[in-house]
Structure 1
Amino acid sequence: MSSFALEDVKVLHVDDEPDFTDLVKDILESEDSALSICTATSVDDALSILQVEDLDCIVSDYDMPGKNGLDFLELVRDEYPSLPFILFTGRGSEQIASEAISAGVTEYLQKETGTDQYKILTNRIRNSVQSVRAEAAFERTEERYHNLVDTAPIPIVLFDEEGRAVYSNEAAVEFFDADSHAEVEGKSFVEFLHPEDRDVSRERFEQLMTEDQPMPEIEYRIQTMNGEIKTATVATAPGIYHGEPVAQAMVYQ
């Protein structure tokens, strides 16, 4: 069993052999208590279940009467582009694998004899669901961050590892006398400072990015877009933006 905590994973297994779906259900649920397996013996039945159940993952055979597993995958991707879909098939070929990858399959696993395949399938399910949930959690965190920072009353600018501005809030655009966010973003942090303050700022930036620790507040002479010099206190701290390390600069007057 995988080491990370993952609970309440609802999986739909689709295969035209009902005895096989019953077997897989029993094995997977005994292999991992977090998994709850519902079954369907045709793509049409599976689509009906998909409309009413909140699923975390789909496991589907390829060779079925009527619509096959690839047909099902394409229908799922039209409505649920990020839902994990594992093609678990007894009919394997490079062409099927290639078509499945092109259609957006999450995993491709060929049926084999023995029970080891179910341990592999369990891990593929867990890993796929974990990845989707982690991405969703990251997106929620990013959204909360933007909601907080976008409307903050103090100027905030984020700089990437190269020292280029990658984000600015409304207060920063106003503070720098810029016409838009685009005028602020993309510039190096030293371009916002009086020339005599730039060497100190470079040393502090390098230390912050290396040690991943906040820096003490410091007073800088800040140069706006129209050349005006404003004296302000700047606090800097490490952060993460779009999954990448950044330096967060907050300006206080």
Structure 2
Amino acid sequence: MNHFSIDDIRVLHVDDDPGFAEIVSEFLEREDDAFSVETATSVDDALVMLQDIQVDCVVSDYDMPQKDGLDFLELVRHDYPDLPFLLFTGKGSEEIASRAISAGVTDYLQKEAGTEQYTVLANRIRNAVRSARAETAVQRTEDRYHNLVDTAPIPILLFDRDWKALYANEAAIAFLDADSFTEIAGKKASDFLHPDERDAARKRFQRLMREGVSVPEREYRVMTAEGEVKTATIATAPGYYRGEQVAQAMVYR
């Protein structure tokens, strides 16, 4: 994941001790020029700042008056479900750690004596931001793929390594006489082929997944959800979906 840029990272650090908050800011910005640290001394102030500025990661203490770090985490997860959130606390326990994980904390770090902890904190922040940006890039790629394929005039289906349907566009759902993708999801490609076609199709599929190459298009007898037989030419090519290798089947009638 190192190819995702982390040249500029804005951190919001929340701690009710302004002196400690200042120390953390100084050490982080000294540790890495990419860091720009904003500070808040209460959860309410931090929530206002999140509305006013864009941050890449939140670092929060746990033991704070009125609203603690877990209260803050739950509020952040409600409005910013994918924002990296690190709990950096001097009051640690298995119960707090368990509750933090259940609430969706990105990472959990115990405050310790010495400056080495700030190097560890900086590494945790970098890793969390890198991971979040990688996931965002993958999501954007999938969104673009869906925008393109969903509106394609030809039926397109995706199958995983077990030959099970992962996705079908509207044209494919209509071609298979299904009411929705729910009728297709998880079924094997062989379920939609005439029994006499299945062995040959399976060999072609195995070659595609093994070698990662497209296989020549071929005419098949396709069985729809209603049991009707339709003749169609199917072209199959390798692809990736949600990080996994898939087979893309494009149907030409």
CA spacing shift, 1:23–1:178, aligned 2, 3 Å: closer
Query: How far did 1:4 drift?
Result: 5.4
Query: How far did 1:61 drift?
Result: 1.6
Query: How far did 1:228 drift?
Result: 4.6
Find the counterpart in structure 1 of residue 80 from structure 2: 80
* Whole-angstrom CA distance in 2 between matches of 1:97 and 1:247: 41
Query: How far did 1:218 drift?
Result: 2.3
Find the counterpart in structure 2 of residue 139 from structure 1: 139
What are structure 2's unaligned runs of at least 5 residues?
Answer: none
Query: How far did 1:227 drift?
Result: 4.8
* Whole-angstrom CA distance in 1 between matches of 2:148 and 2:4: 30
CA spacing shift, 1:182–1:95, aligned 2, 3 Å: closer
Find the counterpart in structure 2 of residue 221 from structure 1: 221
Question: Identity, % of aligned pairs?
Answer: 64
Matched, 1:153 2:153: yes
- Map of 1:62-101 to 2, 5 A cutoff? 62-101=62-101
Query: How far did 1:141 drift?
Result: 1.8
SS in 2 for 1:186: coil
Query: How far did 1:58 drift?
Result: 1.0
Find the counterpart in structure 2 of residue 8 from structure 1: 8
* Whole-angstrom CA distance in 2 between matches of 1:93 and 1:154: 56
* Whole-angstrom CA distance in 1 between matches of 2:198 and 2:71: 60
SS in 1 for 2:166: strand
CA spacing shift, 1:190–1:91, aligned 2, 3 Å: closer
Matched, 1:187 2:190: no
SS in 2 for 1:135: helix
CA spacing shift, 1:42–1:252, aligned 2, 3 Å: same
Letter in 1 for 2:153: P
Residues 16-54 of structure 1 deviation map (CA, whole Å, 9 limit, x = unaligned): 222222221121112122211011122232222122111
CA spacing shift, 1:225–1:61, aligned 2, 3 Å: closer
SS in 1 for 2:24: helix
Letter in 2 for 1:162: D
Query: Is the Cα contact below 8 Å between 2:5 and 2:130 reproduced in 1?
Result: no
Find the counterpart in structure 1 of residue 116 from structure 2: 116
SS in 1 for 2:186: coil
* Whole-angstrom CA distance in 2 between matches of 1:3 and 1:177: 43
Query: How far did 1:248 drift?
Result: 0.6
Query: How far did 1:211 drift?
Result: 1.8
Query: How far did 1:74 drift?
Result: 2.6
SS in 2 for 1:187: coil
SS in 1 for 2:83: coil
* Whole-angstrom CA distance in 1 between matches of 2:230 and 2:170: 18
Query: How far did 1:199 drift?
Result: 1.7
* Whole-angstrom CA distance in 2 between matches of 1:93 and 1:185: 43
CA spacing shift, 1:3–1:31, aligned 2, 3 Å: farther
* Whole-angstrom CA distance in 2 between matches of 1:180 and 1:103: 34
Find the counterpart in structure 1 of residue 37 from structure 2: 37
CA spacing shift, 1:92–1:192, aligned 2, 3 Å: closer
Q: Could you tell me the TM-score, scaled by structure 2's length?
A: 0.88
Aligned residues: 252
Residues 201-252 of structure 1 deviation map (CA, whole Å, 9 limit, x = unaligned): 1111111112222222223333444555444322111222334332110112
Residues 122-158 of structure 1 deviation map (CA, whole Å, 9 limit, x = unaligned): 1111111222222222222222211111111111111
Query: How far did 1:99 drift?
Result: 2.8
